[in-house]
Amino acid sequence: MTGPAAVRADRDPGLQPERTRLAWRRTTLAYTVASVLAVRTALYGGVSAVGVVLCALGCACWLGFLLVAHRRIRTLSATGTPAAPAPRHLTAAVLCTTALAVCGAALVLQS
């Protein structure tokens, strides 16, 4: 058998799942730091209603991203050859990240 099908059948993922799992962990850590800094910004110099709402939205986004990342990390750790992530999970991760960035920018501008 020759061609792309032969290459695909004999593919050895090597350390790719491990690297991807570590990348998800690093991203989750960076997301956590950004969320903590957003909370700090919201509470710095007094508490306002807008700051509390933005902070709550940012924390909700953090929780959503944490769930998506944890599910992917679990999938990568459980199987030898992990399946591609579901588009809805990737969409959720992108939306959570974008929403946190918007909340963070609004918190900075509000301060």
> Alpha helices of the chain — where are they, by DSSP H?
4-9, 16-43, 49-78, 87-110
Could you tell me the pLDDT band of residue 95, with boundaries at 50, 70 and 90?
A: very high
Tens-place pLDDT, residues 41-90: 777 777 788 888 888 888 899 999 999 999 888 888 887 677 788 899 88
- What radius of gyration, in Å, describes the C-alpha atoms of the chain? 19
Give the model's pLDDT for residue 43. 79
pTM above 0.85, yes or no: no
* Number of neighbouring beta carbons within 10 Å of residue 28: 18
Nearest residue to 85 (alpha-carbon basis) of 98, 72, 97, 66: 72
